[in-house]
Structure 1
Amino acid sequence: MKHVIALDVGGTAMKAALIGPDHQILHEARRPTRRDHGPDAVVDGILDLAAELRAAGREKFGREAEAAGVAVPGIVDGEAGTAVYAANLGWRDVPLRDLLTERLGGGTPVALGHDVRTGGLAEGRVGAGRDADRFLFVALGTGIAGAIGIDGRIEQGSHGYAGEIGHISVRSGANAPKCGCGGTGCLETLASAAAVSAAWARVTEDPAA
């Protein structure tokens, strides 16, 4: 059966799947991102998981994947195939598309995109945004980001920053929390899933929260 590799890299976990012609999920895998081990470990984990999905496709269907799509957080240059910067993962200027192309054997086309903008693109094509000429898709996870849908496309911004609302400063002063981007009081330090979980743990004194 024809299939593609889909891999989403989050600040906490990586989710991957083999997707069939009618969007059906044929195989799923999930791994921790291991960002505490440094950016090189994160990149190695991405390459290993992609290779695992490739092997699963060959075993199940006896053929190579038609293509691979990888979505990562932060600033992404999709045309160059470079993961430019991600505050939550600590990397800069990673030629991820070339690395994945090499790991997958060179015969599988690889596309690299911003995680939330690709999520917004999917919502615009097959989800809640299908009949809207303007929409905003906001994802809350380890960080916060948004995707702006306009006339069937997702706005990239002049420098690839469109939708990076998580790094808008919303609190100042001595109590403003520090962000991984180097700023203070960023929205995602207060309202992301990770920030809310950490705040709840402090309030309840529950280290498992």
Structure 2
Amino acid sequence: MSTPSVTPEEDVVIGIDVGGTGIKTGLFHSDGRVLALRRDTTPSNDAGARSLAALVVEVVRWAYESSRAAGYAPLAVGIVVPGILEEASGIVGLAVNLGWRNLPLRDLVRTALDEAGFTLPLAFGHDVRAGALAESYPRVGDTVHHNRIAFVPIGTGIASALVENGRVVGGGLAGEIGQLRLTHGPFRGQTVEEAASARAIARRAGVANAHELADLVRAGNAEAQHIWDDAVEVLAEALAWIAAISGATRIVVGGGLAESGDLLLLPLNTRVAQILSPMPAPEIVRARHGDTASARGAALLARAVATREERYPSTRDSAATPAETSHPEPAVTA
């Protein structure tokens, strides 16, 4: 299928966020509307990503059908993944939770799409850096301009990305805080991710996911509260280091764990302030796009590669919500 003739003001693009356990796919209009959203389980035991490539073809076909039903046709597709990777080569050097090493993922997906007849442009990027794109707008009601904003999704894994003066900073190993090993405390020898990711704490509590654990904490379960407090302590120390090193004045927490809202954010803000005192503490807020931030970021990459052949678009041209477009919007590039 060839790419339809659609002007930038009218375009719809496909954003695919591949996570350690789940895949979120969205069909996004350039004005910020989500025309359709789909969730799938990430294929397991898929070190060669063959099953993933087949699933990408399936979700792109679904997106085509959804867009036609809405009166549009996709202009491009963007796919973002976790791990240590280089956007230029399309190779994932290491993705611990997916079992990938030196995997030419972009070429695998490109070949699968071409063989299925979907020849639309393909953008490829890092999930956290893409999420940072989607979260980098000034927020409605902001009275302080934040020159440096860190985005930290906490889901199956943990990572971070820094936006400085409207530009996403870093590549390669930058932001892989989840792989750092703890040198003290009850989780000494484990990584930050093994101690405090949403998957890790749910597994420790013997529940299906972090949402169920949060419900137990709210219900007053003492063991659940202990597990939650341990995770907050690990996360607070990691966020405090991010703030101290980067100078970020706002940290945006995303991923599944952020869905617990103030149950996580209130103790995190308090503990980070205690660790950093007497230095000023950053504002820690929930991602406005919840766990779809990286899918939205993938859509931004898709729109950029389709319209200007750039990997990282200006947020001036990205999928902002109407309520946010009244604020100055920074340029975001690699």
Q: State TM-score, norm by structure 1.
A: 0.80
Q: Distance in 2 between matches of 1:52 and 1:125?
A: 29
Q: C-alpha displacement at 1:76, in angstroms? A: 1.9
Q: C-alpha displacement at 1:62, in angstroms? A: 5.4
| 1:38 maps to 2:38 | no
What residue is the counterpart of 2:262 in the other structure?
none
Q: Distance in 2 between matches of 1:60 and 1:126?
A: 30
Q: Distance in 2 between matches of 1:51 and 1:85?
A: 28
What secondary structure sits across from 2:98 in the alignment?
coil
What residue is the counterpart of 1:143 in the other structure?
157
What residue is the counterpart of 2:133 in the other structure?
121
Q: When the two structures are aligned, how many residues end up with a matched partner?
A: 193
Equivalent residue letter for 2:61: A
Alignment of 1:154-193 (within 5 A): 154-157=168-171, 160-171=172-183, 185-193=190-198
Contact 2:53 2:108 in 1 (8 A): no
Contact 2:18 2:80 in 1 (8 A): yes
What secondary structure sits across from 1:116 in the alignment?
helix
The alpha-carbon distance between structure 1 residues 76 and 90, as it changes in their structure 2 partners (threshold 3 A), is same
Which is strand-richer, 1 or 2? 1
Q: Which moved more, 1:136-145 or 1:82-91?
A: 82-91
The alpha-carbon distance between structure 1 residues 91 and 43, as it changes in their structure 2 partners (threshold 3 A), is farther
The alpha-carbon distance between structure 1 residues 84 and 50, as it changes in their structure 2 partners (threshold 3 A), is farther
Contact 1:145 1:164 in 2 (8 A): yes
| 1:54 maps to 2:64 | yes
Q: Which moved more, 1:116-125 or 1:186-195?
A: 116-125
Q: Deviations over 1:120-161 (max 9, x none)?
A: 12111365999421111111000100111112111224xx11
* Aligned-pair Cα RMSD in Å: 2.8
Q: 1:16 aligns with which of 25, 28, 37?
A: 25
Contact 2:16 2:26 in 1 (8 A): yes
Q: Which moved more, 1:39-48 or 1:84-93?
A: 39-48
What secondary structure sits across from 2:150 in the alignment?
strand
The alpha-carbon distance between structure 1 residues 144 and 127, as it changes in their structure 2 partners (threshold 3 A), is farther
Q: Percent identity?
A: 35
Q: Which moved more, 1:133-142 or 1:77-86?
A: 77-86
The alpha-carbon distance between structure 1 residues 62 and 153, as it changes in their structure 2 partners (threshold 3 A), is closer
Gaps of 5+ in 1: 178-183, 205-209
Contact 1:8 1:72 in 2 (8 A): yes
Q: Deviations over 1:84-120 (max 9, x none)?
A: 3210001123333333334054631111111111111
Q: Deviations over 1:46-92 (max 9, x none)?
A: 343233323433454353x1111111100121112223321000112
Gaps of 5+ in 2: 1-9, 208-222, 225-334
Q: Distance in 1 between matches of 2:179 and 2:201?
A: 16
What residue is the counterpart of 2:269 in the other structure?
none
What secondary structure sits across from 1:66 in the alignment?
strand
Alignment of 1:187-206 (within 5 A): 187-201=192-206
Contact 1:120 1:149 in 2 (8 A): yes
